[in-house]
Structure 1
Amino acid sequence: MAPHVALFLILCLVHCDTKTVMQDKLAGVRTVDVQAVEGMVAQFPCDLGTAANDKVYMVFWFRDDAGIPLYSFDVRGKHLSEARHWSAPEVFGPRAHFATSPPPAALLVRDVKRRDEGVYRCRVDFRNTQTTSFRYNLTVVVPPEKPVVVDRWGRVINTTTLGPHEEGDDVLLTCRVLGGRPEPSVRWLVNGVLVDEEYEHNTGDVIENRLLWPAIRRADYAAVFTCQATNSHLVPPKELSLVLDMFLRPLTVEIKKPAEVGEGGALTAERRYEVACESAGSRPPALVSWYKGKRQLKRITEELRDNLTVSVMSFVPTLDDDGKPLTCRAENPNVTTLSIDTSWTINVVYPPVVRLRLGSSLAAGDIKEGDDVYFECHVRANPPARKLSWLHDDRPLAHNATARVFHSNQSLVLQKVTRHSSGRYACSALNAEGETVSNELLFRVKYSPSCRTGGVSVVGAARGESVVIVCEVDADPPAAVFKWKFNNSGETLDVAADRYTSNGSASSLKYTPVADLDYGTLSCSASNEVGAQLTPCVFQMVAAGKPHAPRNCTLWNQTSDSVEVSCVAGFDGGLPQRFLLEVYSDSAVPRVNLTSDEPSWTVRGLEWEVRHRLVAAAFNSKGRSPPARLDDLLFRDPEKRTGQCL
């Protein structure tokens, strides 16, 4: 087109547009508000079908009241699809396009800029019909930036996780939004539910909404806290979501008693058991620890099953564990205060544990004959002992009031003890788990000396013969002092100490009678720390020698295999005597040797048809008498004797 023609058209358009503006004002064209988001598409409808049965000639777009168009759509002499488009490069340029399909026709402006904001007018010229105008007020919406969330200490939360927090914590969050035109609204939603929409304008273009979510509970775990900023329905809100993470306390803890427990849940001492404990509800999964009383147990295994922690503890209960609490404690591994525990007071059964002691008021080393003593049997048993027994030198010791032996609860009372009460004592207790014998207690009863052999001992000695007389006593402790005395019909004399020796349990006196007055009674007595001997040991000194031989010996009542032998006793030599019968055959060694308190014997079991020599004699402490010779003895063979008779 020639320059003068283009200039003519522009001047004509300006002239015509000025006239149209005045007509719009007179006609009162309504201004329609249009919003478009920065960087997106703005749409200005311009209906081409307002004039019926008429053809569109030209379409012009103007800004505000400007008379120069910024966009033209020239349909003159063409079909709509062949119309010529023109866009002022200094305004929209290639960003604008007038689209006629689908109806209604509209001017589309891409990549809207903030400077595009303003009033725009569309003028449609028809071939014959009056011009139609449309008026729009474009507002460019600038979205806010993405929200930023800071915690109570002003630290920016850069993750999608909030926490972890503990139950009971207060969650304080501040959502900050920068920019946005018009000013955005900032609100908080929890799990999609609006909870706070009060916000305030801070310094510059910053808008804040502070949310306080007090005393969070277990039910708040995994809650989604969303901050939204919006200033137009044309674009989705800018938002930031945080998922609440929490350390959760265990909800349950339960001890699973082993299947091997006895009646009433009892455990047997010194037997190994596996006890399980299950805990659920903790996040992260609970750590399980075991305690027996106050002592922590270490022999455990642990496994996780979904949200369940299973801990198995292996232990061997002892009798000291009876009545102790077995505690299972489940705790959050990150917060030890988030714990829960349960206890099982264990009942441990075991055989009796028995300990024997002498009565606490008695001194073991100071018991003497005639004292009253008691023993205490300390029994510890579960179940309780149902029987208590006492032993003396491994023999049962029954309750016997006559013997002054009394059982009283768990005590043994012995009244007026004697030396025969000494020995080893023990007690035994029996319950359903078994029987236990206590330690042995060696009981000692001290007593004053007494003669080991009772009665009067006869000691024979010839004149000028020296004999050693031994005085033996029983005493505990051993005798400390011995004394000897001699008594004849005339007087009693103390024996000089240098004439005898003592070794604690015996005293030896060497005595030699030389005259008739030297025969009489010797007495020995001893003493120890308990006291003096009450009855002395007595020795009767007599003039004595060897006994005389038996006399008048005869054989009688002879049978085929036995014979009776009897003699008359001779003088005993002044001392007790016994009698001896010896039977000889071919050798000098007697085949039969028979002793007796009386001079009579029965001889049996000698061979037939063998001649036997018999010798009788008496003996005492001084020696043996001369032999008394008897007739030879011969046992005939019964069969031969029968044959002779036939």
Structure 2
Amino acid sequence: MRLRDLPHSGCVGVRVRPKSVSLTSPLHLGKIIMTSEVSRSWWPRALHLLVSGLLLSAHTSTAAYTVDASEPELETSQVEVVLGYNASLPCAIHPPPNDAPALTLWYIGSGEAPVYSYDQRPTSRPNRWSETRVFGERASYLPLEHPPVLHLTNVTTQDAQLYRCRVDYHTSNSRQAWVRLSVIVPPTHIEVVSRMSPVEVGQINDVVSGPGRWSSNVTIEPEEKPLVAGRRANLDCTVIGSNPPPQVTWYQQGQEVEPLRTEVQVGDNITVSVLLLDVTREHHGRQLVCRAQHPTLSDATLEDIYTLDVSFKPNVSLRLGRALNPADLQEGNDIFFDCSVDANPPPYKIRWLHQL
């Protein structure tokens, strides 16, 4: 643009192209030609237009560092991590030739405030900053990785966001990349819930709807406690939730035993098998197993194990100490006796009596 091309009256408009002037490039003012055709009265206005144009150029050149963050680019990196593990968010930007990063900023989505910055402008060493309310001390930038990554430790569910990385260069325009972090949360606990079937035994829909559709539980309980040696006891095995009713089998020390009876409560979908046991002291500590098997699902088997706790009166035995020989007892020597008591519950008191 030459000043002699300016009109002699009216307003003058100047359009400055943002990319035509660089802040680091020298301004070639010698290309502006001043001729005698321009009136001296136009010199102040021309100087004003020149300064305004320079200021506008500087403003637009600075604006080249601002990028549109309204929506992600077409290519968004995807990162998945399990809750509590570490994650690396890539800043997948192709750097311009013959230029180096000056400042790297990380944002959440299209937010305007950065949550992490890595300043590589000439200083004693790179300056790092992290928003404590977002990352705390868990974030660190690794610029030597290919591509560079923002490394997060001990990832939380709040870290599952869409992130934007923006890199400002020394002479080139800023560039940005998007990355979405997904956090996988594993199961914290497993709960088995028993549900009663809405179909009663004998109804038209009394069928199994598919494999694994058997939610039941099996429990063994004696009708009276405690179990006492010398008495008869009934033990109930209750199965809840099987439809059709299960096949119930009893085992004692690995051997199958026949139950006294088996009852089915149709309305409540409950099966109760009763075992009659003549309790002896030898039953103490033995295990009873009640096993319920679905009649149509061979793999659908549940069982409960019950350890018998039998109360019985003390059985006492008295003998000489093992180190003594009954045929070689001498007057004046010490004699030791062993008193063995077999009882359940264990005796709380033992008394020794002599010459009653």
Question: TM-score, normalised on structure 1?
Answer: 0.21
Task: Please identify which structure carries the higher strand content.
Answer: 1
